[in-house]
Amino acid sequence: MELLLRIELTTGRMITRHAALSFLGSLKIVLSAMVLVAFTQGCSTKLKPIQDFANLSVESAQYTTLVDDYLEFPNRQKRYQPSSRHANLDAMAKDRATQKSALLLRQSIIETYMEALGRLAADEVVDNTEELANLSAALEAHAATNPQEAKAFKKIAGMVTTVVVKRWRQHQLRELIEQSNPPIQQILGTLHRIVSDGFGGDLQTEETAIQNYYMTLTMESQDPAGKAALAEWKDFRLSQVHERSEAVQTYGKILDNISSGHQRLFDQRQNLTKKEVLQQVGDSVKDLRSLLETIKKL
């Protein structure tokens, strides 16, 4: 009887000990999971400036007003050019209309890439297969202006496809930035030159045409009231040109901001969670937001 009692007591202590160990093991797993969730959420919160930078870059890529102004330039010129030049301007308008998709392609690539960057920074799965399909079709339809840019287009499209297909997450953000910086800088640089030289060059031509047109009309007029009206019209047309010129300059600054911001992410890709790095990104976000607000008012 005493022996049975000892066995029962010993067995009870073993069961109690086993239960305690099991409970401690379960508690350890739960606590580890809680720490992992907190760490993940913390990383997502820490990378908020990078999310904001990417999202504002997407928004800037959606600003296509300058392309519309570029396409409309030949028709605006008809106001100031003799009818003998209208056929040439019509041909120019037709040619520019065929350029529209190619001009928008760069902005589409920037938008698609920056959307992927922002989602990874937020530790979200990137799922933009429809946008990639449209981008792929656009790449097939429109050749790049040079081999380097064609290579950049292909590289960015390939990287974003990899992100989508392999379901990358936040811990692969550094790899995306590392692989994508050279091609995205190439695309941003080309777009900047188009904006500055192409769009900006049109505005210089238009301003000169307005000045000459109204100067000629004013010199030919003998009516003081007519001259005053011509002066008002000239000022109005010039103000429109100056507004578009300000938009071109502002958009150039936006592209510079995106370029320098992404270069900073590349240079600091090993330290993306450091406070000082995120503070620098946050400063870029403030500048970019201010520039976007400015251009939207023009």
pLDDT of residue 35: 37
Cβ atoms 280, 263 nearer than 8 A: no
Residues 289, 254: Cα–Cα separation, whole Å: 9
pLDDT at 33: 40
Residue 191, pLDDT > 70, answer yes
pTM score above 0.85: no
Q: pLDDT tens digits for 175-186?
A: 999 999 999 999
Report the phi/psi class of residue 198: left, alpha or beta, with left for phi > 0 and alpha for psi in -120 to 50: alpha
* Residue 272 per-residue DSSP state: T
d(C-alpha 55, C-alpha 109), whole Å = 14
Q: What is the DSSP string of 130-156?
A: HHHHHHHHHHHHS--SSHHHHHHHHHH
Q: Is the pLDDT of residue 78 over 70?
A: yes
Q: Which residue has the higher pLDDT, 260 or 140?
A: 260
Q: How far apart are CA 156 and CA 115, in angstroms?
A: 12
Q: Which of 109, 107, 101, 99 is nearest to 73 (CA)?
A: 99
Instruction: Say whether pLDDT at 206 is over 80.
Output: yes
Over range 14-32, report the average pLDDT.
45
Q: Evaluate if residue 228 carries a pLDDT over 70.
A: yes
Whether residue 132 is predicted with pLDDT greater than 90 in this model: the reply is: no
Lookup: tokens for 24: 């401690």
Position with higher pLDDT, 34 vs 88:
88
Predicted confidence at residue 288, as pLDDT, reads 96
Average pLDDT of the segment spanning 240-256? 97
Q: Provide DSSP, 27-73.
A: HHHHHHHHHHHHHHHHHHHHTHHHHHHHHHHHHHHT--HHHHHHHHH
Q: Is the pLDDT of residue 31 over 50?
A: no
Res 46: pLDDT: 82
Give the HSE-up count for residue 4: Cα atoms under 13 Å, Cβ half-sphere: 1
**Token pair belonging to 110:** 């920037």
Asked if 263 contacts 203 with a C-beta cutoff of 8 angstroms, the reply is no
d(CA 192, CA 289): 18
Give the model's pLDDT for residue 143.
64
d(CA 28, CA 212): 82
| Residue 177 CB-density burial (10 A; 0-12 exposed, 13-18 middle, 19+ buried) | buried
Mean pLDDT of 114-131: 90
- Take residue 89 and report the two structure tokens written for it: 């301007």
pLDDT at residue number 298: 86
Percentage of the chain surpassing pLDDT 90?
A: 74
Q: What integer is the mean pLDDT of 145-172?
A: 91
Q: What is the rounded CA–CA span in Å between residue 298 and residue 294? A: 7
Q: What is the CA radius of gyration of the chain?
A: 30
* pLDDT of amino acid 39: 37
